[in-house]
Amino acid sequence: MKSLLKLCVIALAAAFCGVGCAAAASCIKYNKVEPVDTILEYTSENRPVSGMFFSAEYVVEEYEYDDAFCLLYDDPDANMCNVEICVDLETYQAVQKAIKEKREMVGSLVLNDDYSFDGVEVYTFMPEPEFEMAAASAKL
């Protein structure tokens, strides 16, 4: 009788554990969190975005190419490494002047729809007091 009771207790415990494991397995199987679709293009990585922080300090090179004014921009903190940014003439000349005079030029680049064409995005420099204050406090 004792062995029958032990056998029943063991069978009951095994059944309980088996059901628990099966329930947990089905819960994992059916409630599995699917990874979110991967973003094919990260807009914040290695390409300019309208309204982004801009400093002439990070301009590595400025040049003209096929009637376009380009800046080679290298700001690792913004995850922009050697990115070619097309700008309007006023921005191009202001950056050249700031670099030549070793003067700080901090603000934002804004997409200029009037100059952009055929998939080429042209940006314009806009002074941004918030960015200027942040850059000044970072240098303290």
Question: DSSP character for 33?
Answer: P
128 band by pLDDT with thresholds 50, 70 and 90: confident
In a domain, 44, yes or no: no
Say whether pLDDT at 67 is over 80: yes
Check whether residue 60 and residue 122 sit in a common domain: yes
87 band by pLDDT with thresholds 50, 70 and 90: very high
Q: What sign results for the dihedral spanned by CA atoms 85, 58, 99, 125?
A: positive
In a domain, 116, yes or no: yes
Check whether residue 67 and residue 21 sit in a common domain: no
In a domain, 40, yes or no: no
% the chain with pLDDT above 90: 43
Q: Which residues pair with 75 in a beta bridge?
A: 80
27 band by pLDDT with thresholds 50, 70 and 90: very low
* Domain span at 20: 1-34
As for how many domains the chain has, the answer is 2
Q: How high is the pLDDT of residue 38? A: 46
In a domain, 46, yes or no: no
Check whether residue 81 and residue 131 sit in a common domain: yes
Pick from 77, 76, 125: nearest CA to 105: 125
Specify burial of residue 33 (Cβ count, 10 A radius: 0-12, 13-18, 19+). exposed
Check whether residue 65 and residue 133 sit in a common domain: yes
